Amino acid sequence: MENRIDLALKEAKGIQLMTHVVAGYPSLNVNADLIRLMARRGVRLVEIQIPFTDPLADGPTIMRANQAALDAGITPAHCFELCAALSRELDVAFMLMTYANIPYALGMEAFLDKAAASGASGTILPDLPWDEADGDYAQAARQRGLHPIMVISPDTPAPRLAGILERASGLLYTTLKVGITGAGTSMDQAGVDYVKALKAKAGLPIAAGFGISRPEHVRMLDGLADVAVIGSHIINLMDADGLGAVDDFLAACQE
Amino acid sequence: MSTISDMLPRHFGPYGGRYVPEMLVPALEELEQGYLKYKDDPEFTAELADLYQNYCGRPTPLYFAENLTRELGGCKIYLKLEGLAHTGAHKINNALGQALLAKRLGKTKVIAETGAGQHGLASATVAARFGLECKVFMGEVDVRRQYPNVYAMKLLGAEVVPVTDGTRTLKDAVNATLKYWIQNLKDTHYILGSALGPFPYPVMVRDFQSVIGREARAQIMEREGRLPSHLVACVGGGSNSIGLFHPFLGEKGIRFHGAEAGGRGPEIGDNAARFGGSPKVGIVQGYKSYFLQDESGQLQDTHSVSAGLDYAGVGPELAWLFDQNVVEFSPITDVKALDAFKRLTRLEGIIPALESSHAVARAIELAPTLPRDEIMIVNISGRGDKDIFITAMELDRENWIAFLENEVRHGK
């Protein structure tokens, strides 16, 4: 199976950016403008988060954005529509990211059908582990042309990682622990070794996220990981200084 | 092949499980292995038993409520007085067990969520007793309405962290505590306060709370020479109810009753009655169970006069017992709970917690319909001192406000 995620990574020169938007925050229209702007800056991997009341794996910025979107009446149907409209318009691989209860409430099959119909290329469900009864959805996703993107951490025990690797495709998303100081950013040797070993073992492109908030963070990962994930920083920039600030930041990341 | 993890139930029917981000899995596996190692360890159980007796004041009394029984004119009513345990509620049973475990796992810090503050208070207490650093996460709304417990936690040396996300109540405190834990796994143990959340919490908390049912069973056999036919408890997350019920499960002829928060009534957002209306299963906060949620799967706002029952989910074992028609759940409105609160206070000289008042209200509904030779045990999970700011405002408003104003004037 090959979809836009694979194409984006195959055609990539250097490290790719993967960005994150919370659907409906601050509005669906601004989401669309933001994603168009990202696409113009060469971003071809975008997570669209379907907001949820209890986003367990998200920090305060994204959590507040979830709540604001829900307060504005955003439903999963709006998120599928946003994805559908933009995947027709742009050459971007969209990954629908949300929490287990959203597909569970809809029914996993129906959720995957809707995701596929909206032109998404993958799903990310961080609190739905493969070893729980409803968690083993990877094959059902692939049957619909969707990559089941799995999220791991450097502490994921080997037997679990094996179970994840049997199921993951498209790319493997890992969190990283990185020392970030005032002067700059460094990844210790353990971090470097971890990503290298993971890439060899996984046989999949590696996306790394750790709260990237400066262009140096992206450059530090270049040559090591395949994708740098930029999540809450984009929301912080947009809230503080508008879309122009996001544009400048993405440009700086790609210099 | 049987593995070591088969020894603890990870699921109760289809419920429970461990639905968490991968980052949390190593800590939960460590906890699971640690609990398996120590739960039947003679030194561990002896130390816990000693603390239960000499620190908590266990066994708590099983008291024959003669006046209430006479007034209702039905079955014989016994009250299990968990409110007489140290810190005023059953929460200490679990907090002590988990603190002992945390020490053995080499943790130096504990964190806890709290709604009404009773579990936070219990956690701060055991942290003080065992020299552990303690942070308690509490919704900003609850910090405001439960200040006496906030004060007590601070006095005990805990840091109380107000949670400003979401509805700023118990469920958001759980989220905040789990997130803090994800970032501080190495030296920190999370003392989860109810029989819910990701495995192994539902089984571990149930086991620590089962001391309630084990004692009640021995006490009723000693007093009456037979088992009760009815057990009644309030159900928020469900730790006091599963603690009372569990040692009696499987006995024929016992009916189990759970009293949920009926709040202001059946409208959405006015109660925390997960089993009222058409109960809906979901996967939230690390476990699968019944949750109050909308058709998209978003958790709904809840309301109860008692902060301890004001929660959208319920422990997975209770969900399974509901499916099997073992436990019957009934919503008790705020008004009925307050009425039961007054009646028990006047009739027996026992001021119950507002949570426990829901169980008393259910007992008041049931007892008159039952034969005189039957026995009922009601769990008085906590005492009502902590609720003075709520009950006084409801029942003695003018005088209470005058008192508060006077205190403020003097204070300034």
pLDDT digits (tens, 9 = 90+) for B270-284: 999 999 888 999 999
* B57 confidence band (pLDDT: 50, 70, 90): very high
pTM: 0.95
Percent of chain B with pLDDT over 90: 89
In the residue annotation, B91 being an active-site residue is answered as: yes
B325/A contact by beta carbon, under 8 A = no
Q: Which residues of B touch A104 (CB under 8 A)?
A: 281-283, 297
Continuous segment of H or E residues that includes residue B355: helix B354-366
Judge whether residue A180 has pLDDT over 70: no
* Nearest Cα residue to B182 out of A58, A21, A40, A76: A58
CA-based angle B181:B186:B192, to the nearest 5? 40
Are residues B297 and A67, on separate chains, in Cβ contact within 8 Å?
A: no
- Chain B residue with CA closest to A52: the answer is B298
Round the CA-based radius of gyration of chain B to a whole number and report it. 20
B291/A contact by beta carbon, under 8 A = yes
DSSP designation for B381: -
- The predicted-structure confidence for A118-132, as pLDDT tens digits, reads as follows 999 999 999 999 999
- Among B113, B215, B260, B317, the active-site one is B113
* B5 confidence band (pLDDT: 50, 70, 90): very low
Q: Which residues of B touch A175 (CB under 8 A)?
A: 23
**What phi-psi label fits residue B291: left (phi over 0), alpha (psi between -120 and 50 degrees) or beta?**
beta
Mean pLDDT of chain B: 95
The shortest C-alpha distance from A126 to chain B (Å) reads 5
The pLDDT assigned to B4 comes to 45
- Chain A residue with CA closest to B293: the answer is A105
Are residues A101 and B283, on separate chains, in Cβ contact within 8 Å?
A: yes
A132/B contact by beta carbon, under 8 A = yes
The pLDDT assigned to B357 comes to 98
- The predicted-structure confidence for B300-327, as pLDDT tens digits, reads as follows 999 999 988 999 999 999 999 999 999 9
Continuous segment of H or E residues that includes residue B399: helix B397-411
One-letter amino acid at B243 equals G
* B79 confidence band (pLDDT: 50, 70, 90): very high
One-letter amino acid at A176 equals L
What was the ipTM of the complex prediction? 0.95
Q: How many helices and strands, by DSSP H and E, does chain A display?
A: 12, 10
A140/B contact by beta carbon, under 8 A = no
Burial of B391 (0-12, 13-18, 19+ CB in 10 A): buried
Most B CBs within 10 A among A132, A177, A210, hence the mutation to make, goes to: A132
Judge whether residue B14 has pLDDT over 70: yes
* B1 confidence band (pLDDT: 50, 70, 90): very low
Judge whether residue B137 has pLDDT over 80: yes
Please tell me whether residue B298 adopts helix, strand or coil conformation. Answer: coil
Quick check: B149 and B117 in contact, CB under 8 A?
Answer: yes
Cis peptide, bond prior to residue B59, ω within 30 of zero: yes
Range with lowest mean pLDDT among B97-111, B134-148, B226-240:
B134-148
Are residues B296 and A54, on separate chains, in Cβ contact within 8 Å?
A: no
Beta strands in B276-355 (DSSP E): 281-284, 287-290, 327-333
Q: How far apart are CA A148 and CA A160, in angstroms?
A: 16
The shortest C-alpha distance from B298 to chain A (Å) reads 6
The pLDDT assigned to A185 comes to 61
Higher pLDDT, A184 or A196: A196
Q: Is the dihedral of CA B401, B402, B403, B405 positive or negative?
A: positive
Q: Which residues of A touch B19 (CB under 8 A)?
A: 100, 127-129, 132, 135
Q: How far apart are CA B84 and CA B56, in angstroms?
A: 8
Give the total residue count for chain B.
412
By Cβ distance, the residue of B26, B165, B185 closest to A64 is: B165
Q: Which residues of A touch B179 (CB under 8 A)?
A: 56, 59
Section A133-152 average pLDDT: 95
Quick check: B102 and B125 in contact, CB under 8 A?
Answer: no
